[in-house]
Every structure is written in C-alpha cells, then in structure tokens.
Structure 1
Amino acid sequence: MGLKRWHMWVGVSLLTLSFLYGYKHALVRAAVNQFVLPPAFSITCLSWSFNAFNKIEITQLCVEHDEFSVRISDVIASVSEINVTKMEIKHRLKASASGGFQARPLNIPLLANRPLLNIDNISVISEALADPLSFSLQETALNELLLAGDIHAQLSLAGSSMTTSIELISPLVQRYSAPYLNSLKGKLLLTYDGMSAQINAEIQAVSAYLKSQCRANTQVSGSLSAEIDLQTPLALIDLSQMQTKVTLNKCQSGVPEAYIDYVQSTLDKPYVITLPNQLVMTPSTMTVPKVVATNASSDEIIIQNFQMQLASLDLDFVGRWHHHSNTLGQLTNDVTVKVQDRQFTSEHQIRLQAPQVAVNNRVFHENTFKAKFTAASDLVFDRVNISGSGEAHSNRVSQVDSQFDAVNLAFDFSGAYAEQYQLEANFTLISDAITVQDNQLDDLVIEAGLSIDAQQQLDISVRSSAAQLHLPAGQIDTIKQQFALRSQFDIDELKSGDLSIEINGNTRIDALLLSGIRADNIKVETQGQFNRTLSLEHIVEYADLSVLLEHQLLSQRHPFTITVAEQPIQSLQPLLIGIAPKLQLSSGTINGKIHGDIHTQDASFSAELSDASVLYDSHYVENIITAFSGELSSGEINIINSKLEIEQVRSGAVLSNLSADYMLNAQGAIISNIKANVFNGQVFLPQLALFSEQQDLEVLLSNLDLGMLAEAGRDAGIALSGKVSGKLPISLNNGAVSIQNGQLYNVDVGQLLVQNNASVDALKAQQPSLETVIGLLDNLTVNTLMSDVNLTPDGWLTLGVKITGENEAQAQPVNFNYTHSENIFTLFRALRLSDEITQRVEQALTKSE
C-alpha cells in the first residue's frame, strides 16, 4: 500500500512538472510582470529553454514601456556570464511630466556575484536621432563596461555613482558635430551620483568656416571642467584652460583695393580668444562674464556680462572693439546688445582719432569722428528701426591737385523698414577753403536732407553756399544753390538703376568777374531727371540776356546744347562794359546754338546777327547782317565761309553797302572779297588776314567822286568835280599801317574851281607876281590828274599831285604839280566828331543808360 502511494505521488509530481514545463513561458512572464518589474514595464514576449543543466537559452524577450520598447534575441545565460547576440531599442518621444527632473542620490542595486554581461549588438532607433545608433557592450570586469561602435566609451558603476569616459572620435559625436568642424579629438570624463555631476574634458578641434569668400580657421586645444549641482540646479564651467586661435584667410577679397591697407592688420593676424573661468548655467539661463579676442598687432574685441534666457533665447551683453594702427589710428566701437521678446536692439558709440588717413589718393590730416547708432528689429528682420547722429572733423584733406581746409561733417538720421522703407536724414558739410589747382572756393557750406515717407515718396533737398570762388581769370562772389530731387522710391528699381528722379533747382551768383567781364545778379534755373542717365536743362539769366543749356551725363559721352533764342543784342551790353567800355550796342537781334560733347570736346555751332548797330567811341557801324556756322574739334575752331553785310560804317569817311566773306580755320581768320561804297565810288580789298601781325594788302579804288573828296578835306573855296580810281599798297606791321607808292588817276575830265579860298588869296597878296599864274587855277578844266600816295605809320599822308588841263577863259594850257601833307588820323577824327548822324546815335544811347 505504501509503495503504491509513493508511485502515485511520483506520477502526480511528474504530471505536474510536465504541465508546468509545458506552460513555462506564460507562467514566467506572468510571474515577472506581477512580482519583479515596476508597473510601467511589462514583458510582452518570452521564449526560453534549458540549454544545459547550468545554462538557459532565451531566444527572444520583449519589454514594453511608455517611452521605449526592447527586443532581445538569442541570449545564453550561465552562472558566470550572460551573452546577448542582439538587443533592439525603439525610443518614442513623450511630453515630459510637469514636475520635471528631481535630483536623488544614485542607488544602483549591484549584485556581488552576478554573471558578467556582454551584448554583441545594440541598436537604438529614436525620433531624436537622425540615424540609428549601433554599438556593442562588453563587461570586462564586474561593473566595468566597454562600449564600441558608434560610441567609444568606458563605464564604471558603483552603488552611489557612475563614471563614464567618452572618446570624442566616436562616430556618434562626429556625426552630430558642426558641419564646418574638420577635426575633433579628445576625451570627456563624466562622474554622476544623482545629486551632482563633474565633467572634465581634453579637447583638440580644428574647424573651417567659409562665408562669402572669407574662410575662418579655428584651432581649439586644452581642457575644460564643469561642476553641476543637480539640486539647484546650477553648472559652473571653467573654460580658462582652453586655447582658441582664429585665423582669417582671403577675407580681403571683398574689400575695395583702396581700403585693404586699413583692414589688413585686422584680418591678417590670428586672433587668440580668452574664455572665462566661470561660465554659469542653470536650466533657464546662461551667464558669461567675459570673453576677449585679440590679435598681435591691432585689435581687441571684448564681450562682457553676457546673459541668455535659454527658453526664450532672450539675451543681453556689452562689448567693445578697439583698433589701433598707424594707418587708421585709434578706433573704438562700444556696443550694447539686447534680445527680448524676440526683439533685437543694439546701441553703438563709435570714436575715431587718426593723425593721418589715406583713401583713394586722398590724405586726411588730424581726423576725429564721433557717432551714435541704434538699431532695433525682430529676429527675422521683417521690421527694422535705425537712428543715429555724429560728427567728423579733418584739419586738411589733400590730393595731388586739390586741398580741403578745416572740413566738418555733421549728420543725423532715423529710419524704419516694415515691408516699406521710411527714412529721415540730414547732413551738413562745412569747409573753410577748397583749392583745386589755381582755383579756390572760400567758406563752403552744404546742407542736405533726405526723406522717404509712408507713401514711398523720396525727397532730397540740397542747399549750398560759398563766399567766393577765386579763379586765375577772375573771381565769383557769393554763390548760392538749392536743389530738390523727387522720386517714387522702389528698392528693386534702385538696385537695377531704373529709379526715376525729378530734379529742380536754382543758382544765384551775386557777382562774376572773369577776364574783364563783370556780371551781377546771375540766376540759373535748373530742371531735369535721372533714369540710368542724367538729363538737365539750365536757363541762365543775366540782365536781359537768357541762355538755355541742356546736357546729358552718359557712361561714355556728355552731350550738351547751348541755345540763345533771338533777343536784342543790347542784352549783351552789361558783359562788354569790362572788356570794351567804349563799345555800345544800339539795336539788332542775335540768336545762336552750340551742340557738342564735353567728354570728347567736340562741338558744332551756328549764330545769326540781324540789323545790328554798334557805336565804338565815335565809330558807328549800322545794320550788320551775318550768319555763320562751324565746329570745334581737337581744340581748333573752324568757321565755314560766311557772308557779312553792313549798311554803313561811319568812321570819318562813310563806307556804305559793305559786304565781305569770312572764314576761320587752323591757318587763321580770313576776310575776303571786301567791298564797300565810298565817296560815290567803290573800294575793294581781295583779302585780309585777321590776327596776322605782318601782311601786305592791295586796296583798289574805283570812281571816287573828287567833289566829295574835296568836301571831306574841308578846304573852303576849292571845288573839284570828276572821278578818280587807283590802288593803295598797304603794309600792316604789328598794328602800324603804312602806304608806299600808292596811285590815284582820273577816269574822266574834271573841273577845278577856286573861289574865295583864304590860302590862295593870301598867297596872291603876298606875291603879286604870282597872281597871273595862280589865276590859271581859278577855273581849270582837268584833263589828267595823277597822284602818288604815301602814308607813314604815324598817320602822315603825302600826296604828290600832277595836273594837266586848260583854263578855257584864258585859252591857256596848264601843268600843275602839287605836294600835299596832312595827318589823316587827325583829319578822320575831325570828320567823326562832326558826323551829325553819329552824334545823334551817341546822344540816344547816353540817354538810355
């Protein structure tokens, strides 16, 4: 009976064990979920078996948590070690609890005699990682772990702390480092006890940052340490042992050549950055007391009291850039920067003191500059506000052929951008004197204002004045100018050069004295526009004279047109007072036009003078008519062959119906075919070269009336009739006129009648014996009259007269030789003074003044 009972218990036990083994997976999973794992964890799959008496083989094990799931495959567990072939971890991001992190002392439940753990492959997939993470884990000694793969690290576990050492060459670290980081080496040592953490790192890094053709190479080496209090929480980071050097390469490529000397010392030398020994961080803030960057030659950059709110990225700091060099002197920029509520503001105070600065062949001597600028914007620069003011002074600005003395500049501006631009700016420039070659401008003042309103209306006003402009040929007194520019502002049109600008202005000159010409109260009205090219019209008004100047400023040309509309020539009178005070314009009109290019210095011109009459001293020229045209090329003026007509020239002898041809070229000014009526006859000169100091001329006389010649001689009691012709060889030598071997001869029978002539009657009384001979001349028919004509440069005219004729009353032939000398200059002066027409013109002009 007892044996039977034993067999029964054995059978029941075997049956129970068989049942339990058959359901081992479910039973173990339920037991672990119920009694071993925390509530947040659960085993969702488990498959295991005994590989041997002392080994368990787990083919798969699945653990689920709210934030991750773990799947373990192919595990061999024994008393001495656990070997895992593969572990897959899938991490899921989850909003953090409102309570946040709470520091607690670390308490790791470590077993003294547990088996060592080795995992061949751990794969981590997370939404926080761009790529899966893969590494292996090997426990080389109890609680000493070695990680390899994407992470190269060593991990030491103690009951109350853990220490890890991470190699910075780990692929994971390299993968998530900055893209411009070329090399990163070193080791980071972390000790963590739940309440605090200590970090010590040795770092070697090389980076190259390329921006707009400027390469910044950075080398970092040294150690850093950090103490992190997780209760406060607070981190104190010591960066003072980090050595950082920044070298800028090819950054001058974007700098204009004229300014390279000023930035070379700033950009060529490497910068050494000194970091603080106590950078303070909390979960919400970061504080940096001071960062200094210096280069060996010229620059120091300081950032102080840097504070940042990490959640909102609000920050503020103060900074200074100080530059010192022989080329630029002392330059300081103090700046305050603040970011708050996603709004950026910066304030700048700039000071410059430089003994000498050279820019674009200009040298600035003894210079000072002070300015304040403020900028405010949102972080995407959709709304920007700027404002500032400043002043600059230079004792002297010199160039090769020019100099500015005591130059002062003052300015202020304020502007905003929010889809549209708004700006208000004012500038004032003052200089005591500006010298350009032999010209000097005194007391120059320029005031300019610029505004862009909400409707994008651009207005620019410029006002300038100068006390005096000294020129080699004279001077200009009190110049005042005012210009207004207006446009509908468009930034794209401004960039492309298509912005259209209207220009209006005026210029006032109190007095102008050039080469003996004086003009007072000159007015210039200007209007035009700019659209890729500058086009201007100027109306110059002086007294009654009006001139229109039109010109364009193109890239390769500067065409211009000067138009003088038809107007009385009397409008020119004020201009002639200084250069020809005896010349008076009495009547007539003038018009003309000049068209050319200032850049090439070529021009064509035309002018017309109609019915013009002028009086010079007692010389009167009436009704001048002429029209001419020509061109200016290569510095030479050419006038094509043109016609001149003058109704009368009253200069002692009266010339009427004068006509001539004239031209001007490189060989000189030539007047040809000069014809005029005089003494009821004609005078003809084939050619006269103006401006020629020495020349020989031949004047031809035809059918001059002897009666009019005698009347011109004012010899009372002598009457002549008949006509004479002849030729006069005239020599001009440096302004002196002479005649040698000129000839006159009669062309018909003339008559000589002497009655009541005082000279002849006196001769008869003194020498009665000659009364019979002289009486033959009382009424003489002149068959032949010939005379030699000679004139000396001092005006003495000598006539050698030979007369052959007959006194018909006495039936007596007569041969009469007579030499007559008279100063013709004195004679012509007397004739001019007794000219009634000339006197009346002169009296009328005198009354009109």
Structure 2
Amino acid sequence: MSFKRISVGLLGIVLSMVLLAYLFRLPLTSWYLTPMLSKNGVALHCIDWSLTSKLDLNIEKLCLTYQGQQIELAGIIANKQQVTVSRANLTLSNQVSKQSDSSQTEFKKLALVLPEQRPLISIQQLDVVSPFTDNPVRLAIREKRLNHFTISRDISADVEISNYEVKANLTLDEKVLERFMKLPKNSHFTTQSQVNFDGITVAIKSMVNVNYQHALEQCDLSFATEGSLSAKYQLNQQHLNADLSALRNQFSAHQDCFISIANQQYQSFIRAQLPLAWQLQIAEPLSVDGELLSVPIVKLQANEGQSEIKVSNTSLSLQNPLTSLKSQVGIHFNSEDISEFKLDAHLNDGTVKSGFQLSLNSLPAFLDLQADGIQAKGKLNIDELFASPIVAQLNANVSVKNALISDATIADFTSTIDAEHNAQQHLIVKANSKVKSLNYNDINAAKISNELTLRTDLSAGELFADIDAKTSAAKLTTPELTLNKLSVVTNALQSRALQATHHVFADGFEVLISHHMSEVAHPFELVIPEQTIAKLNPIIYQFEPLATVTDGVVSGIIKGDVNLQQAQGSLHIDKFSALYNDYLANDFAVDLNGKFNSGQLNIATTKFTLNELRAGAVVKNIQGQLQVTANQPCAANLTGQVMGGEFVVNSYCPLSDNQTATVKFENIDASKLVTLDAESGISLSGRLAGTLPVVISKQGVEVKQGQLVNQGDGKLLITNNAGFEAVKAQQQELSTTLSLLENLDIKKLRSSVNLKPDGWLHLGVNLEGYNEAQQQAVNFNYNHEENVFTLLRALRLSDEITQRVEKEYAKKGSNDG
C-alpha cells in the first residue's frame, strides 16, 4: 500500500507540475525561447499558445523582430505535419532613409538553422507593409515541400529558403501593380524576375517588356523597353549596382504631332529637322552608393541620321540632385537644313563650361531675315546655374556669307561677341563686327566695321542700358554723293526713350548729332564745330568738278524734331574763298538764321560780304542781303566796286528760271572797260554809267535794251594802229572822217547793249565829240558784235587769274597734304 500510495503521490506531483507548467506556459516559453532565438538574430516580443483537444499547438499570437523587420502571426495551428497561420502582418523598414541613424540595425549574412524535419507552413493571409508601396501587399503562402513556398494573391512567386540564401522567382504585370500603386494610362508591362537574398545583398535578374502610349492633344507618343536587366543592392552599404545595357529602349512620335503647328512653313521646317524615332542606350552599369547616384554613360540616338545626345560621367546626390549634379553632355545634331550643331558641356556642382558650334546652309525661308553660309562657334560658361541671379560669360564668333534684311543686302559679315552677366545682374555685351559690303536700294557701303559696348543693370524695374559704338566705312555711295573715310562715334542711353549722341566724320568734316527718340517725339540737335570749309572739297567735287574751296571756316547749330519735320538753326561762314574754273571769290562772310517746316526752308534776311570776285573783271567790296523764302534763295541790293566804279543789283534768285535782275553802273573807268592790247595804240578815258536788265530764263542769260552813257568828258586816242591805218588807206573817202577819231574829246557817249544766251554781244554806239587839232565836231555811230565768252578768255586779265589759280591750287595742295 505504501508503494501504491507513493506512486500515486508522485503522479500527483508530476501532474501538478505539468498543470503548473501549462498554467505558466507563457512566461516559461518566453524564458526558454528568447535566448535561443536571439542567437539567430530574432527577438521575441509576444507569444500566446495553448493545446487543442487533439493536443495540437494553438498559437493565438506570436510577435517577432528580425534585423529591423517586424512580423505578427495570429491563428496558428501546429502539429507534426502542418503549421497553418490564419493571419500575419509583416512590416518592412526603410533602411535607406535611416542611414544617419546611429542606432540602425546592421544586416548580417543569413545563417538560418533550418531543421531537416518539421511541419510544413501555410499562411492563409499575409499583409506586407513597406515604404515602397502605397497600400499593403496581401499574399497567401503555401509550403509545397520543405523550405519551398508558393506565393499567390497580389504577387505570384516561388520562394526557396536555405540556411544562407533566399531565392524567389517573381512575375509582375500592370494588373498586379495597379492594386497598390497608380500607373499611367495605356501602360502595359510584364517582368519575370529572379531574386536572391543572402541577408545583406539583394540580387535581381529580370526580363522586361514595357509599352507606354501617351496622347498629347493630336500628338501620339510611345515608349517601349524590352530586354534583360540585372541589379544588386547591398543593404548595409546601401549600394545599388544596375546593369541596363541589354535593354532596348525606343521612343517615337507620330507624324500627326506636326499638325498642331498651324503655320505650314513652320510645320514643314520642323518636320524636316526633327527625327521622330529615338533609341536610348545605357551602355554601362549605373550605381547608387548611399545618396550618390552615378551613371557612366547614356546615349540618345536618332534612328535615322547621325544625331546623338550623349551624357557621361554623371553623378548626383539623391537628396540635392540639382546642386550636386556633375556630368558631361555632348550633343551632335544634323538635319536637312542644319549642317551641323555641336555642344559639349561640363556640369560640376552648378558650374557649366560649354563649347558650341553651328553651321547652317541658310535660314528658313519664312523668316524676314534671309541668310546663307552661317557659321557660329564659341563658349558659354555659367558659374552658378541654379543660383539667382545666374553668373554667366559668353564668347562667340559669328559669320554670314550673304544676308538680306528687308531691302538691305549684306556680304561677308563677321562678328565677335563677348557677354557677361554677374551676380549684381549687370550685363555687359561687347561686339566687334565687320561687313565687306552693304547695299540698300541705291546706297552702297564698303568695308564697314563696328565696335559696340552695351552695359545694363537688369535688377532695375525698367531696362536701362548704356550704349557705346564706333562705326566706320571706307566708302558710302549714293546716286548723288560719295563719302569716304566715314566714321560715327555713338554714345547712347536707353531708358524709357533712347538718348544718343553721334560724332560723325566724313572725309575729315565733323558733325555732332544729339537726339532723343520716344514714341511721341524725336527732337534732335546738330552741331557743326568751327572748322575749315576746305574739308568739304571731296563732296563739292562730286557736284562741281571745277569748284575748289581754298579757305574759310564754317560753324553752326540746328535744332528740331524728326517726327514733326521741323527745325531751326544758324550757320556762320567766314573768310570763305573758292575757285570755279577761271573765277575766283575771296573772303566771303555771312551769318544765316533759318527755319524748316513742312518741307520748306526759310532764312531771314541777312547781310553778306564778299571782298573780291574775279571773273574777267575784278569786282571788289561786294555787299548784299541774302534771304530764302519757301526754299527759294534770293540776293537783293547787291553793291560793289568794279572797273573803278560802283554797281548795284536790285535782286537775283539763283534757282528761279524766269527773272530779270537790273544791274546799274556808276562812275566806271572807261579805260578799264575797253582794255585792249597795249601795243594797239587805242586808249579810252573818262567815266561811264549804265543800266543792264539781265534776263535769266531756261534758255540762258540775256541782256535786253541795256544802256551805257558817259559821265563827264572823255577822250579817245588812236596812234600807230595798223588796222586803223589800213582802213583809211582802203577807203579814201572815209579817211578824213576817220582821222577825226584819232584825237577826240568825247562830249557824249551812248551805247545800247544786247547780249544773247550764246554769248554774242551787240553794241550800238553813238559818239559825239570835238577834235581840237582839226577844230571839227564829230558825231560817230558804230555797231559792234563780239562773243563775250571768247572775249573774256582773251583778256590779258586772264593771265593774272591763271597765275592766281595756280597759286591757290598749290596752296590747297599743301593744306591737304
């Protein structure tokens, strides 16, 4: 009995211990499993289990953490053959976003202790929460054989787990991803991937087939990718390496994309230049190391032609992609009209250094500007691309063989351009340009050069620019005028209106022009600094080749408004001397004050003086009044001294075709009026007066019914004149009468004067006098015809003029030299 009693007691104790163990199963399980699981890097957070009536293990809840990943299991029924999980939640952490966290869990190589025999596992519902998807991914997992799992529902995959590696074969398409992320419309893709995970490194090999269609108004765009890719991601170092070289990436646009361009000329031009099909190549593996993305080389090539965009040695921070970007970009483009376009750019932390080259056969026909043989090359450097403001420098050389702008034709244009924009938003542009020739209607300019400097402050609310320019031309030719050595120096300020000053030199003659151009007015001021008038000789020669200015100064100022076609000003001429053929004018002076309005010039009456005029006779001390009325110049009240006497001209208008100027003479020295060969033996003394109505018409100059009369007594002497003696010998009947003229005291002399436009002068002379030696009164009538033009050239005075001409020409030559 005692043994039985002892056995029953021992059994009771055992049952009591079992009962106590079952009652305290949860803390005992945690006490036992926690150190064992921790050896494999697994932390136990919660467990609740019991036994079913069939002695199956029923785990109501189990919470585990492995390398930062959390899993919660519920509704677990386990026996020797099967472990079935009703529900499970897996939360994956984003280790990349926690790189800076010093408490981050370090991933280790898988070293799973997998039993050789255990129940198979089945998870009816697993919800995976990760930072990589917008919605949880719901899965069902069934273990077909030990450590081989089949995954279904949101993702279809086969997974094999070994002690040191997890392998998965995964298939995805757009229907799968649409369950937990938003995809573009008309996108289709399938991927078949093999994933290997060893606890530290995720390796993926995928076959990809992607098609994406996008409609942009009437423009259909498509993108297609097909081929294989491989990638590895190291969790601890957060290093990704992806090889996309086997992918074929095609981008294309439909011809209808050009229809949206309404202008047919624009549409045709762009259609001819722009390829519609391109392919993208990523020839070498790209990598992500922490936050740093590196892409060795990417090429975008047109399917037709040789156009290519190449991006190489690219690196950037994923946290600050723009400011950290480093890359080299090369663009090589050509088309039907663009012979060549090249761009090489180096980007480094916001700094860009680039060189470019452009060649065009001709500009598009639809532009107002037409040009051919266009070449441009240069450098563009940007110091702070993503800063505001941008700091940049541009150096460019541009050349154009021929150009047509409106009606202007330009040949052989070249220009060097330097531009700089600094952090203070100050823009400085310098351009040096040359043109071989420029033709505008009937105007031609040759060998033009221009130096332009523009300075402006773009930080101001309005545009203010200082402009300095110097333009020169070897020759400027118009139908009426040719200018040589033309130079214009310009200083301008552009604000709300343009204010400019132009210092103009033409053949050495200097003019200063200032103007202020706005939308409503265009006032100007033209200043002629005091300078010698002889500088105008190259211009005067073109209008009158026989005219030469030998002396004199000119100055003046004119103010007005270009828009209103109004102006007023003054012109001062002093000590002006000039030659015209055999005519000489010395010491002319005048001050002119005038106004221009509605196309008409008016100059107020002003006095002028001319010290001497030599035109056969020598005229001195000329004075008069000059006036311009409605573009018609006239001189009035002209007075002067000629042949020892005085003359007066009432009025003379040079541009009038039909006018009569009355010339009155007084106290003219008869000996100077009738000046013949000194050896002729004929002399006339006394004083004469007269009136000559000078008629000026389209036919020429005439004198009609002019008169000459004597003032006081005169005397006519004829001695040893061979011609006179011959007439007396041949006409004996007139010998006695003619001899009375040989020593005649003139009491009265009257002569009619008529001059034809062709130069023929007719004199009707009536001479009354007394021959003292023969005590005989004389009344003599005589008609004489002579060509005045020939006579003036024959006068001995012309010798003196010729000498003066030679002297002045020599003087002019020395001045010009």
What is the TM-score when the length of structure 1 is the normalising length? 0.68
Q: How does 1:433-832 map to 2 (within 5 A)?
A: 443-448=412-417, 462-465=431-434, 479=447, 481=449, 483=451, 485=453, 493=459, 497=463, 503=468, 507=472, 509=474, 522=485, 524=487, 526=489, 528=491, 539-540=503-504, 545-549=509-513, 562-593=526-557, 606-629=570-593, 636=599, 638-643=601-606, 645-647=608-610, 648-655=612-619, 656-663=621-628, 665=630, 668-679=631-642, 680-686=645-651, 688=653, 690=655, 692=656, 695-705=657-667, 707-708=668-669, 711-714=672-675, 716-724=682-690, 726=691, 728=693, 730-733=695-698, 736-740=700-704, 742-744=705-707, 750-756=712-718, 758=721, 766-768=731-733, 771=736, 775=740, 778-782=744-748, 788-801=752-765, 818-831=782-795
C-alpha displacement of 1:468: 5.5
Kindly tell me: are residues 605 and 203 of structure 1, through their superposed partners in 2, closer, same or farther at Cα, counting changes over 3 Å?
farther
Match of 2:332 in 1: 350
CA contact (8 A) 2:30 2:47 kept: no
Checking the alignment, whether the CA contact within 8 Å between 2:487 and 2:505 is kept in structure 1 is: yes
Deviation of 1:591 (Å): 1.6
Is residue 304 from structure 1 mapped to residue 279 from structure 2 by the alignment? no
Q: 1:443 to 1:83 in 2, by over 3 A?
A: closer
Structure 1: distance between partners of 2:60 and 2:177: 47
* Residues 106-151 of structure 1, C-alpha deviations (whole Å, 9 max, x = no match): 9996579x9x9899xx998x9x6999x8xxxxxxxxxxxxxxxx66
Structure 1: distance between partners of 2:377 and 2:471: 24
Spell out, residue by residue over 1:743-799, the C-alpha distance to the aligned partner (whole angstroms, 9 max, x if none): 4375x86435332275777666635457459849933433xx765543222111224
1:576-629 C-alpha deviation (Å, 9 max, x unpaired):
345433222222101234556778887665432112111111111222222335
1:189 and 2:169 correspond = no
Q: CA deviation at 1:732?
A: 0.8
Q: What's the CA shift for 1:373?
A: 0.3
The answer to whether the 8 A contact 2:560-2:568 is kept is: yes
Judged with a 3 Å threshold, the aligned counterparts in structure 2 of structure 1 residues 202 and 556 are, in CA distance, closer, same or farther, namely farther
Does 2:318 align with 1:318?
A: no
Q: Structure 1 residues 843 and 812, CA, compared in 2 at 3 Å: closer, same or farther? A: same
Q: CA deviation at 1:301?
A: 3.2
Alignment RMSD (CA, Å): 5.8
Aligned counterpart in structure 1 of residue 355 of structure 2, from 385, 388, 393: 388
Partner of 1:846, secondary structure, is: helix
The one-letter code of the counterpart of 1:198 is N
Distance change (3 Å), C-alpha of 1:645 and 1:53: same
TM-score by length of 2: 0.70
AA paired with 1:96? T
Give yes or no for contact 1:411–1:426 (8 Å, CA) kept in 2: yes
- State the shift of 1:800 in Å: 4.0
Question: Are 1:160 and 2:147 matched, yes or no?
Answer: yes
Code of the residue aligned with 2:250 in structure 1: it is A
Q: Give the structure 1 partner of residue 244 of structure 2.
A: 288
For residues 407 and 647 of structure 2, the distance between their equivalents in structure 1, rounded to whole angstroms, comes to 53
Q: Deviations over 1:78-127 (max 9, x none)?
A: 99x99999999999987222415568879996579x9x9899xx998x9x
Letter of the structure 1 residue corresponding to residue 554 of structure 2:
I
Among 31, 39, 42, the alignment partner of 1:34 is 31
Partner of residue 144, structure 1: none
CA contact (8 A) 1:517 1:578 kept: yes
Provide the rounded CA distance (Å) in 1 between the counterparts of 2:228 and 2:574: 95
Amino acid at match of 2:27: A
Which letter does structure 2 place at the counterpart of 1:663?
Answer: V
Contact 1:651/1:832 (<8 A) preserved: no
In the superposition, relative to structure 1, how do residues 722 and 430 fare at CA in structure 2: closer, same or farther (>3 Å)?
A: closer
How far off is 1:677 after superposition?
2.6
Looking at structure 2, the residues matched to 227 and 46 of structure 1 have their Cα atoms a distance apart, in angstroms, of: 35
Which of 350, 373, 378 matches 1:411? Answer: 378
Judge conservation of contact 1:348–1:374 (CA < 8 Å) in 2: yes
Alignment correspondent of 2:272: none
Shift of 1:538: 5.5
Secondary structure of 1:778's partner? strand
**Counterpart residue number, 1:253:** none
C-alpha deviation, 1:443, in angstroms: 4.7
Selected match of 1:224 from 182, 191, 202: 191
Question: Pick from 310, 334, 346: which aligns with 1:335?
Answer: 310
- Contact 1:445 1:464 (C-alpha < 8 Å) held by counterparts: yes
Aligned residue type for 2:649: F
Residues paired across the two proteins, number: 732
The 8 Å contact of residues 360 and 372 in structure 2, kept in 1 or not, is answered as: no
Q: Which residue of 1 aligns with 2:346?
A: 375
Q: Cα distance, 1:345 vs. partner?
A: 1.6
Residue identity matched to 2:715? L
Aligned to 1:427: 397
1:200 maps to what in 2? 171
Cα shift at 1:493: 4.4
State the AA in 2 paired with 1:714: T
Which sits farther off after the overlay, 624-633 or 55-64? 55-64
Q: Structure 2 unaligned segments of length 5 or more: list them.
A: 96-102, 235-239, 256-274, 318-324, 677-681
Given residue 792 of structure 1, which amino acid in structure 2 is its aligned partner?
A: K
What is the CA distance between 1:374 and its match in structure 2? 2.9
**CA gap 1:768/1:752 in 2 versus in 1, 3 angstroms:** farther
Distance 1:304 1:66 in 2: 35
Tell me, in whole angstroms, the C-alpha distance in 1 between the residues paired with 2:523 and 2:684. 67
Would the alpha carbon gap of residues 56 and 397 (structure 1) be closer, same or farther in structure 2, given more than 3 Å must change?
A: closer
- TM-fit CA distance, 1:438: 8.0
Letter in 2 for 1:779: D
Q: Is the 8 A contact 1:461 1:482 kept in 2?
A: no
* Aligned residues of 1:281 and 1:287 also touching (Cα < 8 A): no
CA distance in structure 2 between the aligned counterparts of 1:485 and 1:719, rounded to whole angstroms: 75
Aligned to 1:142: none
What does 1:187-266 correspond to in 2, within 5 Å? 188-194=155-161, 195-203=166-174, 219-231=186-198, 233-239=202-208, 241-248=209-216
1:454 shift after superposition: 12
Cα deviation 1:211-239 (Å, max 9, x = unaligned): xxxxx986312422212133574211222
- Whether the 8 Å contact between 1:206 and 1:218 is mirrored in structure 2 is no
For 2:186, what is the secondary structure of its paired residue? strand
More displaced stretch, 444-453 vs 713-722: 444-453
Q: Secondary structure, in 3 states, of the residue corresponding to 2:675?
A: coil
Give SS of 1:313's match. Answer: strand
For the Cα contact (< 8 Å) 2:570–2:593, is it kept in 1?
yes
Q: Deviations over 1:466-506 (max 9, x none)?
A: 555678768666x364737486x98x6499755767x4757
- Residues 84 and 285 (structure 1), Cα distance of their counterparts in 2 relative to 1, 3 Å cut: closer
- 2:438 and 2:444 in contact (8 A); partners too: yes
Q: Given that residues 795 and 824 in structure 1 are in contact (C-alpha distance below 8 angstroms), is that contact kept between their aligned partners in structure 2?
A: yes
SS of corresponding position for 1:610: strand
Contact residue 595 and residue 603 of structure 1 kept, 8 A: yes
- 1:754 to 1:496, Cα distance in 2 relative to 1, 3 A: closer
Q: Which amino acid in 1 is paired with 2:660?
A: E
- In structure 2, relative to structure 1, the CA distance for the partners of 1:484 and 1:78 (3 Å cut) is closer
Unaligned runs of 5+ in 1: 134-149, 168-187, 208-215, 251-267, 325-329, 358-366
Displacement of 1:36: 6.0
